[in-house]
């Protein structure tokens, strides 16, 4: 029963008998019509009964087939088997989103971490992971089509959330790396499909509790190491403004700082950021008159200077790369293009962290006038990253909204804030579905108050976050 290859077009194009360009992750026709693109580029097989000796009865065919199989010199062509069940189909669909050949604009692994590369082989072992992966595949399709959120995407997200809660309530399953990974997959799905009424479900708080529970356990393999590294970054940023993520200084050090020991600029920046929650807590106590902390200002200043030195070194490295013209290459698949995107992303992250450290320090060091000048520079530099990032949208530019939000908080200049708000409005369809601009601006004001060591007005309950 040999397989005869047929077309490789997607299901929608095949059904309408239209030519399919087999684009990934969505062909141009499906993207234009804003419909899910399923099966693009996949080889299909038509199975026909082989009758090499002319027409004969089914029984003769069976006998002939059995005879032919008995000959050792018969050459049988092996083909990749079609998916035999839902897990196989899900594994293939997930793999398409993370493989190296996937366009930078749609590549999940490049945007959210290489731990995702380990997921396909783990599917079928944990239902929370399976349903979360399925929800992410559907949400990714919505993002790539730039269309409206589908009922299927919402249904799969709801199912995944329900299954995750079930697993987290089971002590035997809650600590499994696959269960923990499903938390992060739902965080990503959230950013793609948005939320009704602009309310979040607080997955970062759950991730923080998981990190606390696992702080004394050694990582069993590279998957866990990569996964927990990604979770730490998410929890750290959320923990700056969410009082429900409450770690002591020593816990931050064990959980976060000790894992970023490389001398790369981004690692230095993250180590500096790890100390900010403690500085904010101590600073609020000093300002309220609860304690005297004569060492606080010196510690904060030294931390800020360390980051500024790292930033200066990185700026020189980035300038050398830009002047080489390497970032002007056309192909989004070229390694040099990915290097350019990586440079821009790291620069934006370092600038954003610089803004955070600057704001918190300026509340304590009120006589240092240079801080405001540096803060304005950081904000303006972030805005220069917006236009070059256009060619990487949507996923390759997924960090831009966070960066420009920090630029907004780093300046009271009306032109800068106006530019930020225009950028956020432009990215609304990508990452802010379900949030209107007034809601986003209100959240920016609340975060700004917290970084200035003020209690948010109204107090934030940990559930409303852009």
d(CA 287, CA 386): 37
Domain hosting residue 12, numbered range = 3-65
Q: Which residue has the tokens 């919402």?
A: 154
In a domain, 52, yes or no: yes
Structure tokens at 212: 């606390």
pLDDT (mean) for 40-45 = 62
27 located within any domain: yes
Q: What is the pLDDT of residues 421-441, one digit of tens each?
A: 999 988 877 776 666 788 888
Q: 412 or 84, which is more confident? A: 412
Quick: pLDDT tens for 132-171: 999 999 999 988 888 788 899 999 999 999 999 999 899 8
pLDDT above 70 (res 336)? no
203-213 and 222-239 helices, crossing angle to 10°: 120
When divided into structural domains, the chain yields a total of: 1
Give per-residue pLDDT as tens, 224-274. Answer: 888 877 777 777 887 787 777 777 777 777 766 556 566 678 888 888 988
Q: Output the domain CATH number for residue 51.
A: 4.10.240
Query: Is residue 323 a part of any domain in this protein?
Result: no
Arithmetic mean of pLDDT over the chain = 79
C-alpha dihedral, 107 to 112 to 118 to 122, nearest 10° = -100
Contacts of 240 (CB under 8 A, 6+ apart): 276, 277, 280, 356, 450, 451
pTM of the predicted protein model: 0.75
Does some domain include residue 32? yes
In 3-state terms, what secondary structure has residue 451? helix
Q: Look at 186 and 33; give whichever has higher pLDDT.
A: 186
Asked if the structure places residue 378 within a domain, the reply is no
The reply to whether 30 falls in a domain is: yes
């Amino acid at each position: 029963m040999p397989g005869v290859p047929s077309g490789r077009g997607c299901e929608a194009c095949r059904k309408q008998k239209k030519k399919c360009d087999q684009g990934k992750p969505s062909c141009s026709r499906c993207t234009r019509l804003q419909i899910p693109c399923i099966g693009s580029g996949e080889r299909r097989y038509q199975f026909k009964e082989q009758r090499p000796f002319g027409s004969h009865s089914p029984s003769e065919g069976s006998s002939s087939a059995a005879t032919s199989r008995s000959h050792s010199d018969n050459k049988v062509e092996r083909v990749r088997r079609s998916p035999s069940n839902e897990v196989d189909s899900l594994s293939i669909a997930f793999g398409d989103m993370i493989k190296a050949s996937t366009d930078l604009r749609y590549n999940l692994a490049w945007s959210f971490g290489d731990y995702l590369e380990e997921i396909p082989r783990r599917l079928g072992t944990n239902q929370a992971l399976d349903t979360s992966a399925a929800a992410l595949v559907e949400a990714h399709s919505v993002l790539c089509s730039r269309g409206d959120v589908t009922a299927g995407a919402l249904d799969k997200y709801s199912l995944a959330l329900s299954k995750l809660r079930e697993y987290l309530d089971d002590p035997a399953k809650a600590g499994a790396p696959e269960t923990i990974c499903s938390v992060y997959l739902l965080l990503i799905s959230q950013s793609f499909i948005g939320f009704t009424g602009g309310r979040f479900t607080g997955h970062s708080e759950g991730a923080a509790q998981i990190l606390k529970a696992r702080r004394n356990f050694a990582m069993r393999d590279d998957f866990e190491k990569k996964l927990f590294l990604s979770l730490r970054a998410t929890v750290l940023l959320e923990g700056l403004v969410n009082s429900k993520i409450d770690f002591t200084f020593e816990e931050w050090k064990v959980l976060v700082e000790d894992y970023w020991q490389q001398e790369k600029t981004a690692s230095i920046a993250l180590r500096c950021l790890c100390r900010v929650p403690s500085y904010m807590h101590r600073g609020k106590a000093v300002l309220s008159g609860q304690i005297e902390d004569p060492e606080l200002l010196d510690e904060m200043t030294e931390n800020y200077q360390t980051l500024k030195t790292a930033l200066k070194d990185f700026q020189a490295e980035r300038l050398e790369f830009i002047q080489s013209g390497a970032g002007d290459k056309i192909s989004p698949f070229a390694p040099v293009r990915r290097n350019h995107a990586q440079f821009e992303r790291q620069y934006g992250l370092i600038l954003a962290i610089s803004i955070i450290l600057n704001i918190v320090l300026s509340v304590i060091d009120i006589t240092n006038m240079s801080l405001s000048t540096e803060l304005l520079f950081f904000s303006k530099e972030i805005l220069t990253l917006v236009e070059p990032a256009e060619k990487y949208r949507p996923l390759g530019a997924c960090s831009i909204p966070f960066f420009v939000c920090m630029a907004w908080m780093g300046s009271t200049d009306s032109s800068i804030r106006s530019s930020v708000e225009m950028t956020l409005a432009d990215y609304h369809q990508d990452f802010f579905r379900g949030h209107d601009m007034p809601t986003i601006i209100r959240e920016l004001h609340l975060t700004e108050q917290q970084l200035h060591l003020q209690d948010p007005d109204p107090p934030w309950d940990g559930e409303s976050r852009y």
